[in-house]
Amino acid sequence: MDVEISLRVDGLEHRVLVDTRTTLLDALRERLGVTSAKKGCDHGQCGACTVLVDGRRLNSCLALAVAHDGAEIVTAAGLEATPADGLHPLQRAFIEHDAFQCGYCTPGQIVSAVGMLQEAAAGVPSVVSRDLDGEVVLDDEEIRERMSGNLCRCAAYVNIVTAIAEVAR
């Protein structure tokens, strides 16, 4: 069964006909040619496919495209860049702190970090928060917990935490 949907991806409007089985990730990569979000496990376990949908991070591999008609999607390629170097501050921090090796998980890591920082700024607690009702202080333990949905096969975690911590401050 095919259904026509519209998606706004990194600021561009698209209308696309999708089979109901198509995930948001496959719609982006295979139908719209937007390859920033990556397919890792395809089961919501690795986070390589993370995108922002209507401002929130989610696993695009577990989202059916047909259920997201009209959604606003931002991938790592569409993050707001600073004019000086054309990079988002998190992208620059990942480069400066050597926060990747092969780079396959990196777009998902960066988008996830953008969403995570917004959640923390909105006061969303985590399970390691000392005070469930207090101000969120993004120390390394908090960052690790909040980023646990993004795996890195090269285990660049130490530098990923450092890069995110720099931007969080």
Kindly list the residues in this chain that would bind another protein in the complex (CB under 8 A): 1, 3, 19-21, 23, 42-44, 47, 50, 56-59, 62-64, 66-67, 112, 115-116, 119, 122-127, 132-133, 144-150
CA pair distance 134, 116, nearest whole angstrom: 17
What DSSP element (H or E) covers 110? Answer: helix 106-121
Per-position DSSP letters for 83-104, written without gaps between them: TTTTB-HHHHHHHHTT--SS-T
Please, what is the minimum distance in Å from the beta carbon of residue 83 to another protein? Answer: 30
Please, what is the minimum distance in Å from the beta carbon of residue 117 to another protein? Answer: 11
- Phi then psi for residue 108, to 5 deg, are -65, -40
Nearer to another protein, 34 or 58 (CB): 58
Please, what is the minimum distance in Å from the beta carbon of residue 85 to another protein? Answer: 28
Select from 6, 11, 22, 44 the least CA-distant residue to 148. 44
Here the tokens at position 164 are 């995110």
Nearer to another protein, 58 or 156 (CB): 58
Beta bridge partners of 6: 15
Nearer to another protein, 25 or 84 (CB): 25
CA pair distance 4, 1, nearest whole angstrom: 10
Nearer to another protein, 113 or 156 (CB): 113
Amino acid identity at 167: V
Please, what is the minimum distance in Å from the beta carbon of residue 34 to another protein? Answer: 18
Map residue 130 onto helix, strand or coil: coil
Please, what is the minimum distance in Å from the beta carbon of residue 127 to another protein? Answer: 4
Nearer to another protein, 80 or 133 (CB): 133
